[in-house]
Amino acid sequence: MMTRPRHSRLKLLLLMALFAAPLLSAWAMVTWRVGIPEGRTAHGQLAPELPALADWPLEEPMTASEHWVLAFDCRGDCAAEADRWWRLHRALGREAPRLERLRIVAAEAMPGQAALPGERLASWRSPPAWGEPGALWLLSPQGEVVLGYSPGAPLRDVMDDLQHLLKVNPERGASSN
């Protein structure tokens, strides 16, 4: 008869341990920083301090659209850079329609520029202090700068970030399977 209560207590203790184990392991991970990844997933620099696209000093103000925007500062001769970002856009495959490219050129160079397919052209009214020739920015559909890249950013890094953002931000109206 004595084994019955002892057996019930043992079951209760095991059940309590089962529910407490995840909490204890999470507390240990946070306290001793064990098992928590230190690496970043974004290759670009987070840029929440930059103004929204509508506030950029462009000749013709741009507004937010329903697409992600890949904007790059092209103040000099940057046909190779424009082609590079066009190829990245094409490499997105079926996700390509979710991205627009915005090439921002110097005001005096605007008449001689021709837009590549899927690209919009704009010119700086006055180049901003935060802008840099050759810089690249990834903007959300709301026009907010998400990531910024320095000139000459590796194509693979930008592609990884862009694919990740498109994956974790599904298209509006798309049904989830």
User: Any residues with CB less than 8 A from the CB of 110 and at least 6 apart, and which?
Assistant: 59, 121, 123
Give residue-wise pLDDT tens across range 109-144: 666 677 788 788 888 888 888 888 888 999 999 889
Q: Is 169 helix (H, G, I), strand (E, B) or coil?
A: coil
Taken in order 63, 125, 131, 108, the sign of the CA dihedral is positive
Q: What pLDDT is attached to residue 1?
A: 47
User: Any residues with CB less than 8 A from the CB of 53 and at least 6 apart, and which?
Assistant: 62, 63, 64, 69, 71, 139, 143, 144, 145
Pairing of strands 99-105, 119-123: parallel
Q: What pLDDT is attached to residue 175?
A: 47
DSSP annotation of 162: H
Confirm whether pTM is higher than 0.85.
no
